[in-house]
């Protein structure tokens, strides 16, 4: 085994990441002296300089990635391809390709307009909400083709966020931001052939989505060197179509359609090696309790008549994720909740195997593997013979029967001298239940309204609610109601739809006690405009409130002083009183300090 040692003189240039080329002959190190922060916290680099290290001859050189037509632009993205030393990078929202480190760059797109028309990378909407990644391109496994999205924000309204500090006048950041009822960015999916003369094809959307601007593409994956699986989603997110597309012709064939609310928009199906059959989780009726997500097996053969759905699983619980498909053994591996006697939480997230043929027998692989652990994640080896299991709840584990890579003993010992909150799991009926009056405590309900999300788990975390509960005596209640993960898909309301003056879905309520409002002026997702509208209505109803604004700070505070100030503000507010008796004696109209 060879170990390559790079001197400290080289390492001091490396500030971002090191990545190995597919040929294993080269590494490159991103060198960044100047960093410009985007509104959505994605980092773009201006020096355009990379350190390339040859593992064959142990030589080092600097390679500047910059096409001649991009004179003043910043580098938006750069990465190796899957074959040899292919390179792909993006300037001015256009994609460039190099066959290897010494070849000249080939420009694959020319439609890019910075911030308006993007090729191969996401805009704000797609990075935050749709794809949930900045990368909007996908390599075929043989490196012969590249699929990419073209996101066009020409008709999308522009959001303006002012930055107040550091200058005589404010400087504003502008970016496309579609609000309810406003035009979405239009999106198209292309495939470019990289062998020989570059040839680009647009993949044709299904009939229901053709010539429509109000739709999304939340999932793209290659299932062979010439075929892709693509999911199309309407704006209301209550109709989705899964298609198999031919990269050689651009034709797409519908293989699955759902006219129900789609929670797992980015979930990639598992395909058999020949691409004829695939598996995915879809809602299935489970008696009176409603719909739960279970694994279905479907045919991907083009032109075949739709066959009845065959479900591998059933029950009053949701399949959380699909881990791997082992065709040789006829097994599928998945994550789903189970009842484990040694664990207090009602639903333990475990790794299961299910037969893909016959009676679809299912068995739990981790229920008795680790005592006192109730939250697992797993990653399988390429041949599906082994998997890495990660326990993510409490730190007092009992291991047996496998190789332990990390026991977190240092963290365990550090937490043994800390005061941690006690956790209790309880099922509360929706009607006719009254809280006991044995004691008076401050009660906090953190809210997560994401459909399909699950808050009541034993997932280990140290956050603000942990500090409130352990040091301030606050009772923190995490709730999973209808529509939450593993709680059936019975929503009273899936979505609000487009805005209308006649809508009265929510009644206006006025808080009788004092409010503490904390706003971040640079937040890109929940703008200061929302705070201004809220303050306007509070003034109209003469509500008592306290406002704290953090200028030029986004949702994730960058300044250490700002983070400390926020913590002190919360502890001084009514959210964290030191004396509960004082709170009880005060009238609702009295301000709490």
DSSP state of 135: B
pLDDT value of position 561: 92
427 located within any domain: no
The one-digit pLDDT tens for each residue of the chain (593 residues) are: 344 444 444 444 444 444 555 554 455 554 443 333 333 333 333 334 454 555 455 555 556 677 777 667 788 888 889 988 898 999 999 999 999 878 888 999 999 998 899 999 999 999 988 999 999 999 999 999 999 999 999 999 999 999 999 999 999 989 999 988 899 999 999 999 998 777 899 999 998 888 777 899 999 999 999 999 999 999 888 889 999 999 999 999 998 888 877 777 888 999 998 888 999 998 888 887 778 889 998 888 766 555 567 888 888 888 888 999 999 999 999 988 876 655 556 567 788 898 888 767 888 888 777 666 777 788 899 889 888 888 777 655 545 556 777 777 888 888 888 888 888 877 777 677 776 666 667 777 776 656 556 777 777 778 878 887 887 778 888 877 655 555 555 444 444 455 655 455 445 555 556 788 889 999 888 889 989 999 999 999 888 888 999 999 987 888 899 988 988 887 776 554 544 444 333 333 333 33
Residues 6+ apart with CB under 8 A from 415: 395
pLDDT value of position 232: 95
Domain that holds residue 467: 444-449+459-491+507-585
Going through 404-540 in order, the beta strands assigned E by DSSP cover: 443-444, 475-476, 515-520
H/E run at residue 534: helix 528-540
353 located within any domain: no
- CA 332 vs. chain centroid, Å, equals 24
Burial zone of 475 (CB within 10 Å; 0-12 exposed, 13-18 middle, 19+ buried): middle
553 located within any domain: yes
Q: Measure the CA–CA gap between 2 and 213, rounded to whole angstroms.
A: 54
282 located within any domain: no
Residue 13 backbone zone (phi > 0: left; psi -120 to 50: alpha; other: beta):
alpha
Q: Measure the CA–CA gap between 295 and 318, rounded to whole angstroms.
A: 9
pLDDT value of position 218: 94
Strands 475-476 and 443-444: parallel
pLDDT value of position 221: 96
pLDDT value of position 467: 80
Structure tokens at 573: 């507010």
Contact 47, 36 (CB under 8 A): no
Residues 6+ apart with CB under 8 A from 554: 41, 520, 522, 523, 524
- The model's pTM is 0.81
Q: In the chain, how many H helices and how many E strands?
A: 7, 37
541 located within any domain: yes
Per the DSSP assignment, residues forming a β-bridge with 95 are 90
Structure tokens at 30: 């991103």
538 located within any domain: yes
Number of domains in the chain: 1
Nearest partner of 89 among 137, 128, 55, 41, judged by Cα? 137
Contact 343, 374 (CB under 8 A): yes
Structure tokens at 386: 């082994």
What are the backbone angles phi and psi of residue 5, rounded to the nearest 5°? -105, 125
Nearest partner of 296 among 319, 317, 274, 275, judged by Cα? 319
Structure tokens at 348: 């333990």
572 located within any domain: yes
Per the DSSP assignment, residues forming a β-bridge with 201 are 191
pLDDT value of position 290: 79
Nearest partner of 313 among 328, 334, 329, judged by Cα? 334
């Amino acid at each position: 085994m060879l170990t390559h040692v790079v001197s400290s003189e080289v390492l001091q240039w490396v500030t971002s990441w090191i990545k190995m080329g597919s040929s294993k002959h080269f590494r490159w190190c991103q060198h960044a002296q100047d960093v410009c922060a985007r509104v959505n916290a994605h980092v773009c680099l201006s020096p355009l300089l990379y350190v390339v290290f040859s593992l064959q001859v142990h030589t080092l050189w600097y390679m500047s990635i910059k096409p001649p037509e991009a004179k003043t632009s910043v580098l938006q993205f750069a990465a190796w391809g899957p074959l040899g030393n292919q390179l792909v990078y993006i300037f001015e929202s256009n994609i460039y390709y190099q066959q290897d480190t010494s070849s000249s760059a080939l420009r694959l797109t020319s439609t890019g307009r910075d911030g308006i028309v993007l090729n191969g990378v996401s805009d704000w909407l797609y990075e935050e909400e749709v794809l949930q990644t900045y990368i909007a391109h996908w390599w075929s496994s043989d490196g012969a083709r590249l699929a990419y999205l073209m996101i066009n924000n020409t008709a999308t309204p522009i959001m303006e966020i002012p930055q107040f500090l550091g200058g005589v006048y404010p400087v504003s950041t502008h970016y496309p931001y579609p609000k309810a009822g406003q035009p979405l960015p239009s999106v198209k999916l292309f495939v470019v052939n990289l062998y020989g003369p570059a040839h680009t094809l647009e993949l044709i959307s299904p009939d229901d989505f053709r010539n429509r601007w109000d739709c999304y593409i939340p999932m793209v994956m290659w299932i062979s060197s010439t075929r892709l699986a693509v999911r199309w989603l309407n704006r209301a997110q209550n109709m989705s179509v899964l298609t198999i597309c031919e990269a050689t012709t651009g034709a797409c064939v519908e293989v699955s359609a759902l006219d129900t609310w789609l929670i797992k928009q980015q979930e990639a199906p598992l395909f058999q090696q020949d691409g004829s059959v695939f598996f995915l989780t879809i809602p299935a009726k489970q008696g009176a309790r409603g719909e739960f997500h279970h694994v279905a097996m479907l045919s991907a053969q083009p032109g075949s008549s739709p066959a009845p759905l065959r479900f591998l699983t059933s029950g009053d619980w949701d399949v959380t994720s699909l881990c791997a498909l082992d065709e040789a053994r006829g097994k599928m591996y998945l994550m789903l909740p189970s009842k484990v006697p040694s664990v207090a939480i009602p639903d333990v997230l475990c790794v299961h195997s299910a037969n893909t043929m016959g009676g679809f027998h299912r068995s739990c692989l981790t229920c008795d593997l680790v005592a006192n652990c109730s939250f697992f994640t797993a990653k399988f080896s390429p041949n599906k013979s082994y998997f890495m299991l990660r326990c993510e709840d409490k730190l007092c584990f009992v291991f047996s029967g496998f190789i332990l890579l990390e026991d977190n003993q240092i963290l365990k010992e550090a937490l043994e001298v800390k005061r941690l909150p006690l956790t209790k799991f309880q099922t509360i009926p929706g009607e006719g239940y009254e809280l006991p009056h044995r004691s008076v405590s401050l009660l906090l309900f953190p809210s997560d309204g994401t459909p399909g999300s699950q808050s009541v788990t034993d997932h280990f975390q140290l956050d603000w609610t942990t500090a409130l509960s352990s040091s301030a005596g606050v009772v923190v209640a995490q709730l999973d109601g209808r529509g939450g993960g593993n709680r059936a898909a019975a929503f009273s309301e899936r979505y609000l739809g487009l805005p209308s003056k006649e809508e009265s879905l929510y009644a206006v309520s006025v808080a009788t006690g004092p409010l503490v409002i904390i706003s971040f002026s640079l937040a890109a997702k929940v703008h200061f405009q929302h705070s201004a509208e809220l303050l306007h209505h509070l003034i109209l109803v003469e509500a008592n409130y306290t406002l704290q604004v953090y200028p030029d700070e986004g949702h994730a505070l960058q300044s250490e002083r700002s983070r400390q100030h926020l913590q002190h503000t919360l502890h001084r507010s009514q959210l964290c009183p030191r004396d509960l008796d004082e709170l009880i004696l005060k009238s609702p109209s009295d301000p709490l300090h």
